[in-house]
Amino acid sequence: MTDATIACLSERMLLALAEGDGDREAQAHLRGCVLCAGRFRRLSGDIARIARVLREPPPRPLSHRAPRWLPAVAAVATAAALLGTLLLPRYGAPPAAGGRPATDPLPAEVLARGEAEPVALRRADNDLLAAALEEPFPCEWSEGGCDDDTDPAFGGE
């Protein structure tokens, strides 16, 4: 049965009543209201239960601390990251001007298997190109073309 003169009690008021405070009106409501009486019992029970548990030693998993190796691992990881940051630009930088990119010679067994043919062809192409560049200007590109009969080689004067 609920006392019609007062609305149901707030949790704060219930706690005040549990602490021995609270006005006469609230106490009267608590005596008359089944709902608030139940809430009050649950509140008191919860507090007693919590206090009882806290008087006992804490359960084990709550007491775990950080592993001893954690700081060492953190320090090593930080050092590795720092080292990586410092060294990465050196290896990733382009070769200096005039320098040639470093290449490793092919192993002998690869050459023996003939797998080095594309490389050899490429080298040959490079040689041909270099030789062509050392030659005089090609006649096809000259003004008179290759039909210049003034050339003594074709009987010119």
Nearer Cβ to another protein (56/134)? 56
Nearer Cβ to another protein (22/29)? 22
Within residues 6-35, the interface with another protein by CB under 8 A covers 11-12, 15-16, 19, 21
Nearer Cβ to another protein (77/124)? 77
Instruction: Out of 1, 4, 5, 55, name the contact with another protein by CB under 8 A.
Output: 55
DSSP string for residues in the chain:
---TTSPPPPHHHHHHHHTT---HHHHHHHHH-HHHHHHHHHHHHHHHHHHHHHHSPPPGGGG----TTHHHHHHHHHHHHHHHHHHHHHHHSPPPTT-----PPPPHHHHHTTTTHHHHHHHHHHHHHHHHHHSPPPGGGSTTGGG-TTSGGGT--
Binding span for another protein by CB under 8 A among 63-71, 82-90, 118-126, 142-150? 63-71
The site that binds another protein (CB under 8 A) totals a number of residues, namely: 31
Residue 53 sits in the site that holds another protein (CB under 8 A)? yes
